[in-house]
Structure 1
Amino acid sequence: MKEYQLPQAPTRLALRDALRVRSAAFPWNRAIGSGLATCLPILIGLLLGDIIHGFSAALGAFTFLYIGAETYKQRAKKLAAVAVCLTIAMVLGTLLAPFMFTLSIVAGVIGVIAFYVLNTFQLVIPGPMFFVLIFCLATGLPVDPQSAWERGFYVLLGGALSWLLAMSSWLWAKKNHEKQVIVKSYRQLMAMLQAIGTPSFYQMQHVTVLTLKQADRIIYGSKRKPSTLHLHELATDIFHTMTQLKNANLTSEQLKPIEAQLHAVIDAIEDAKGNWPAHNTSCESLKTLQLEVEQAYALASQQEAEGSTSVKTESAWRVLVSGISFTNLTVRHAMFYGLFIMIASLLAHSLGFNRPYWVPVACAAVLIGANTTLTIHRAIQRSLGTIVGTLIGGLILSLEPSGYYLIAAVGILQLCVELSIVRNYVFANMFIAPLVLIIVETMNPGNAISYFVTARVVDTIFGSIIAITAVLLFWRGIHSRFLPFLLKDTIQHMQELLHAIHTDKQERKQMKKLTNSLIGLRAAYERSLGDFSASQQHAEILWPAIMHTQHAGYLLMAFQKRNETLSDAQYDALQNQLGNLLTILHTKQPAALQAYSELDLQQELNQLQTVLAQLYTAANKPTLAPS
């Protein structure tokens, strides 16, 4: 029998990683598209003899940056919403520019809403900063509340042009996004299959869940063929089957035929020619998996007539409302984010900064960091990049470019931003700073170049200092402190799903709650690795418990997916085990253990009980977060 191995915890983040250059492919399509989206409004304004309003419309080009992996229908809705929200930010900023206290509060509210909405829908790139940026830039333009609707109109026009550019790729590249995400799901299932019996299994299991969840959003939100939906549902079934095989003591020789068949499924989905590698496994534990893979191949190979099927999904509004809870870390992070944007704005105006709007913008950009280390990374990267970038911007402005030369400079800078940001944020800021400097100086002429350059550097550094101070004083270690609470919450969701399975009531709803809880638990752990030393060690103590909880949760879901029936004795035993776990977490004292071994799930819960009992026997006891 193979010895049980718990994988090592993920690597901690270090401050030196702030200047590490990543090896990533250059996103040429995105870069060229964003460059065109920024240039075209200015070019149109120049040709119409009104370049100032062309620059106003160029602010709407930030809409283009929110394209992602989605269907064209989803992209159309998302980018339209972004363009409208950027327009509202411009209108509000122009109207409230004379009122220091009110505009600071509204800047914070915009930060809260944008952060919560984008993170709830996992649109973390490029994040909420651009909504704060547009609002704050509007407050820095010549004070003229009567021009609010006019400025907003031009931003909306720029957003509409970006929408057209983002959607125009359909004309020459009619990508089947549903097929792409299905292929990605089956490739990830291949990686999970290869990890069975290895210490990397837990990581592959987690990545596979994230991949399938992304596929949920794309496939359920699109017009799809029935076979596409069935292939996605089969991928979920295959995942749960592989989860049950984790402790099956399978050899690589036994798994290779299944790998070959999964390869054939992927080829069939991609319409590649190939033969089915026929193989009848003699291993009883692999027969269910092989049957599911064969079904997937049959679906992928068949020629299906055009048609679509629909699945009832939760509305976006319901998703947002259901997530509002003070125990939700995303809600807390959003409130923290907005609060210190407001404080940064109030301080900048109170201290008499020349261009006070740069301070909350810098604070907003830095606070996007998910933990202490990443926040310091962002501060270092933004400060260094801004210093170099403002020098570049000052040099460009000293040449007094105009007309087509000015448009070319803006387009090239935006192109460089998108190409360099995948390598390191500091490089991107070397181009962001001169780009914004040129736009603002053109829209607000009459000041010396040195005035803009000095104000930008000083304000950016001050805003970054506010963000770092806020994180060190109020946010450091929050993910580590919340881990025991999230662990308890996840186990409670396991109890609820177990009850739903036993009573055949609301199983789908409880499955979704448990999946989100498991993903949130793992995300909080990974963010805690960016806290400083004491908090990192605090979190790493819980790593074995988190991994056993993750696997136990997915084993429980496998019961629901396979419609397996639990006897009353099995149900009572599982509820007893889960109750013991909650008792240990609530009292922070080891409880009397009762081991069960009839089911794989019971064996996993036995290991989790042992880990928690040992954890709370030690002197270092994690503290539950306040509810």
Structure 2
Amino acid sequence: MNETVKSPSIFKQALLVDKKPFPWLKAFLAGLASGIPILVLLLLGNLEYGLIAALGGFTYLYVFPIPYAQLAKKLAWVVLGITLAVFLGTILAPYPIISAITMGVIGATAIFLFGAFRFIGPSAIFFVLIFAMTTGMPIAPEEAFIRAGLVLMSGALSWCIAMVGWFFNPHGPEKRAVKSTYIALAQLLEVLGTDKMNDAQHQVMNSIKDTSQTLASAYLSWHESKLYNQLYVLNNIANKMYVSIVEGNNIQHSKELAKTLRMIARVLDSKDLESASKLIQLPQIDRPNEHTLLLINELSNAKGYLSDSNTTIKELHFATPNVKRVLIGAFDKNSIILINALRFGIFTFIAAFIAYEFHFNRSFWVPLSCAAVMSGITVVATFHRAIQRSLGTIFGILFASVILAFHPSGYFIALFVALFTFVTELFIVKNYGLAALFFTPNALIMAEAGTVGDYSFSYFATTRLIDVFIGVAIGLIGVWVIGRKSASSRLPHLISKTLRSQAQVFYVVFSNKKIYKEYGKNIEFNKMDTNIKNLKTVYDAATGEIPKDKKASEYYWPIIHSIQEISFLLEKSSRSKTHKIEEEQLAKILLAIEGMAYAAERKENIPICDIPLVNSAPGIKETLEQLQKNLIKKSTSPLSK
């Protein structure tokens, strides 16, 4: 008799500690970025300005292992955003209602942009924090330019610290991305023919796509890099190997081939790729079949490119939509990104309005706590954040109250800010609650240390706790009212919309229409990419809804997987010169896709249609047939409800 494994409660899940390693170097540099501005201005005799300048140090918290070309642009915008938040917070401080509206706009804009461009990082939280903290400073609109200038210089320091790694390992993020793809390919070969194959196949497909995007964001037209060229070619080879594995599905000696892929992945960790590549051993297989032979040839090509540092590329092809298309796609009425941004902005404004209207002491703690809670990606994550924020804040406030009761000054303040920033960044990868335990006293010290007031234990322990609990409650209400079922209810329509956009791409590719080399000009491809991103985002959000419908999650997952696979194959076919098929075959495929789109949106059953074989892309027939089967209405599926 099988026993049902009971999932841990939301409270227990919120207390779980992640097993990710501590980011020691990043935490240390984050501490420097926040501590140095205070120390410098302290030496110049102005602690208050030092605490303001330290706000620019939050820029470093947006540093993540992405290509330096992308990181430089991202951090530059973060610095400008933080500077603008300080400037607006200073000049709008005398006008509480306008400040509340502006706080909501800042939060919504940051959430929208981070979601649309899929930037990793703390998103809106620090922009809201900095604006809110600035409105809580002594009212002095005349100092707007001075405060903004201090933060701009401090942010520039953080930018410089973040870019130091470029001098030592300029293509480190790209190498890690390509390495992860080769490891994923090895894992796929190791589970061929097992029930784990579908998940491994999906992992490879996502890895190749992510690596392609990483390489695209790292490209600099004015700077040619031989290592970059090698990585670009290796990713293209990985793409070809994946297609060979999936289309063949009968690879011989797959375990031996997987070992070679892992060797290539290890070589990418080396500083001297040419020397390390000599250790790669190609398997000797007697009478390999067609797809196995193709795979061996590609492995040989990969070894050859690793040993040749003079790799040149005549033409680079990046399947990356332009900024305009990304923003238009995110503005779609069914986009969960837009919905989340509006929810975030509205309830941040409500929290700020309540705090200002009821004249809370240091009122910015209410909207800040609300924003922190609503930063959760899913509803479940939001409840986790609420629990973690509450517990971390309770103990963090007690900690800060004790410190501030001793009236720290001068170098001790600089030390505390640097230390707490260091520990916060160290524990943020483990658990948000642990990070809040140190982030809270850090923000309190920065906000309160430069002011004159009563630092009694009871003052902070009561006032701040009330502010936090009110903010957390408003955030939870916002998520529950607006976001509880906003994702799952949109899945059928988005599946239908995505399939129809894929039909348009199918027509363009296989009727031999013109396909532009500049990916952003292909409207059909851009629509398809936008719809798939929206669909995946909505599905991820739906899996975190309360109550969670496990049957719906299990039903929709293979459908979304097949849709992503079709997109992958269409992008590959668009680069082939032999992709035209007969009009009758094309019509049958388009009719089948329209039938599936109709069934998905109307939640109706459809008969299985015959899918013609596309000789130049045989994997499309198999994937479309699988999608048809996945869409069939069953009594146990959510479509029958």
Counterpart of 2:499 in 1: which secondary structure?
A: helix
Query: In the alignment, is residue 506 of structure 1 matched against residue 511 of structure 2?
Result: no
Alignment partner, residue 97 of structure 1: 93
Per-residue deviation, 1:389: 0.3
Counterpart of 1:143 in 2: which secondary structure?
A: coil
Q: Do the aligned residues in 2 keep the contact of 1:118 with 1:127 (CA within 8 Å)?
A: yes
Query: In the alignment, is residue 526 of structure 1 matched against residue 522 of structure 2?
Result: no
Per-residue deviation, 1:361: 0.8
Which stretch has the larger CA shift, 341-350 or 54-63?
A: 341-350
Q: Do the aligned residues in 2 keep the contact of 1:479 with 1:524 (CA within 8 Å)?
A: yes
Which stretch has the larger CA shift, 139-148 or 511-520?
A: 511-520
Per-residue deviation, 1:474: 1.4
Q: Do the aligned residues in 1 keep the contact of 2:487 with 2:539 (CA within 8 Å)?
A: yes
Alignment partner, residue 82 of structure 1: 78
Distance 2:420 2:624 in 1: 55
Per-residue deviation, 1:451: 2.9
Per-residue deviation, 1:225: 3.3
Provide, for residues 362-384 of structure 1, a one-character-per-residue CA deviation record: whole Å limited to 9, x for no partner: 11111111221111100010011
Distance 1:412 1:552 in 2: 50
CA RMSD of aligned residues (A): 2.9
Pairwise mapping of residues 51-66 of structure 1 onto structure 2 (< 5 A)? Answer: 51-66=47-62
Alignment partner, residue 235 of structure 1: 235
Listed as ranges, the gaps of 5+ residues in structure 1 are 1-10
Distance 2:125 2:17 in 1: 23
Pairwise mapping of residues 199-218 of structure 1 onto structure 2 (< 5 A)? Answer: 199-218=195-214
Provide, for residues 554-582 of structure 1, a one-character-per-residue CA deviation record: whole Å limited to 9, x for no partner: 34444334544353143222112112102
Which stretch has the larger CA shift, 480-489 or 534-543?
A: 534-543
Q: Do the aligned residues in 2 keep the contact of 1:391 with 1:453 (CA within 8 Å)?
A: yes
- Find the partner of 2:41 among 38, 45, 60: 45
- Find the partner of 1:411 among 386, 405, 418: 418
Counterpart of 1:380 in 2: which secondary structure?
A: helix
Per-residue deviation, 1:44: 0.6
Over 3 Å counting, the alpha-carbon distance change for 1:622 and 1:89 in structure 2 is farther
Q: Do the aligned residues in 1 keep the contact of 2:186 with 2:257 (CA within 8 Å)?
A: no
Query: In the alignment, is residue 439 of structure 1 matched against residue 446 of structure 2?
Result: yes
Distance 1:430 1:13 in 2: 22
Q: Partner amino acid for 2:562?
A: H
Over 3 Å counting, the alpha-carbon distance change for 1:515 and 1:190 in structure 2 is farther
- Find the partner of 2:299 among 288, 293, 300: 293
Q: Do the aligned residues in 1 keep the contact of 2:393 with 2:440 (CA within 8 Å)?
A: yes
Distance 1:368 1:330 in 2: 12
Alignment partner, residue 261 of structure 2: 262
Alignment partner, residue 593 of structure 1: 608
Provide, for residues 322-341 of structure 1, a one-character-per-residue CA deviation record: whole Å limited to 9, x for no partner: 53322222122111111111
Distance 1:582 1:306 in 2: 43
Q: Do the aligned residues in 1 keep the contact of 2:85 with 2:131 (CA within 8 Å)?
A: yes
Per-residue deviation, 1:532: 1.7
Alignment partner, residue 4 of structure 2: none
Counterpart of 2:632 in 1: which secondary structure?
A: helix
Distance 1:100 1:577 in 2: 58
Query: In the alignment, is residue 583 of structure 1 matched against residue 598 of structure 2?
Result: yes
Provide, for residues 123-178 of structure 1, a one-character-per-residue CA deviation record: whole Å limited to 9, x for no partner: 23122110011111111111121111111111112112212222234455555443
Over 3 Å counting, the alpha-carbon distance change for 1:40 and 1:218 in structure 2 is same
Counterpart of 2:639 in 1: which secondary structure?
A: coil
Pairwise mapping of residues 168-179 of structure 1 onto structure 2 (< 5 A)? Answer: 168-171=164-167, 176-179=172-175
Distance 1:260 1:123 in 2: 34
Counterpart of 1:325 in 2: which secondary structure?
A: coil
Q: Partner amino acid for 2:219?
A: S
Q: Do the aligned residues in 2 keep the contact of 1:497 with 1:511 (CA within 8 Å)?
A: yes
Per-residue deviation, 1:354: 1.9
Q: Partner amino acid for 1:610?
A: K
Counterpart of 2:20 in 1: which secondary structure?
A: coil
Provide, for residues 236-279 of structure 1, a one-character-per-residue CA deviation record: whole Å limited to 9, x for no partner: 4533652563474536x521342243244435544214144253
Pairwise mapping of residues 114-193 of structure 1 onto structure 2 (< 5 A)? Answer: 114-171=110-167, 176-193=172-189
Per-residue deviation, 1:226: 5.9
Per-residue deviation, 1:600: 4.2
Counterpart of 1:81 in 2: which secondary structure?
A: helix
Task: Report the number of matched residues.
Answer: 611
Over 3 Å counting, the alpha-carbon distance change for 1:539 and 1:58 in structure 2 is same
Counterpart of 2:497 in 1: which secondary structure?
A: helix
Per-residue deviation, 1:413: 1.2
Alignment partner, residue 282 of structure 2: 277
Q: Partner amino acid for 1:604?
A: T
- Find the partner of 1:340 among 347, 353, 357: 347
Over 3 Å counting, the alpha-carbon distance change for 1:487 and 1:502 in structure 2 is same
Q: Partner amino acid for 2:561?
A: M
Q: Do the aligned residues in 2 keep the contact of 1:481 with 1:622 (CA within 8 Å)?
A: no
Per-residue deviation, 1:500: 1.5
Q: Partner amino acid for 1:254?
A: H
Alignment partner, residue 551 of structure 1: 565
Alignment partner, residue 462 of structure 1: 470
Alignment partner, residue 225 of structure 1: 225
Provide, for residues 375-396 of structure 1, a one-character-per-residue CA deviation record: whole Å limited to 9, x for no partner: 1100010011000000000111
Distance 2:639 2:249 in 1: 35
Per-residue deviation, 1:234: 5.0
Alignment partner, residue 602 of structure 1: 621
Over 3 Å counting, the alpha-carbon distance change for 1:337 and 1:196 in structure 2 is farther
Q: Partner amino acid for 1:245?
A: I
Alignment partner, residue 571 of structure 1: 586
Q: Do the aligned residues in 2 keep the contact of 1:480 with 1:539 (CA within 8 Å)?
A: no
Which stretch has the larger CA shift, 534-543 or 99-108?
A: 534-543
Over 3 Å counting, the alpha-carbon distance change for 1:545 and 1:168 in structure 2 is closer
Over 3 Å counting, the alpha-carbon distance change for 1:536 and 1:268 in structure 2 is closer
Q: Do the aligned residues in 2 keep the contact of 1:202 with 1:551 (CA within 8 Å)?
A: no
Q: Do the aligned residues in 1 keep the contact of 2:543 with 2:553 (CA within 8 Å)?
A: yes
Distance 1:332 1:605 in 2: 31
Listed as ranges, the gaps of 5+ residues in structure 2 are 1-6
Q: Do the aligned residues in 2 keep the contact of 1:529 with 1:539 (CA within 8 Å)?
A: yes
Query: In the alignment, is residue 497 of structure 1 matched against residue 505 of structure 2?
Result: yes
Provide, for residues 475-532 of structure 1, a one-character-per-residue CA deviation record: whole Å limited to 9, x for no partner: 1122211211221122112212211211333375345554554454334323322112
Distance 2:626 2:158 in 1: 53
Alignment partner, residue 350 of structure 1: 357
Which stretch has the larger CA shift, 174-183 or 412-421?
A: 174-183
Pairwise mapping of residues 417-436 of structure 1 onto structure 2 (< 5 A)? Answer: 417-436=424-443
Q: Partner amino acid for 2:594?
A: G
Q: Partner amino acid for 1:579?
A: E
Q: Do the aligned residues in 1 keep the contact of 2:404 with 2:445 (CA within 8 Å)?
A: yes
TM-score relative to the length of structure 1: 0.89
Q: Do the aligned residues in 1 keep the contact of 2:104 with 2:345 (CA within 8 Å)?
A: yes
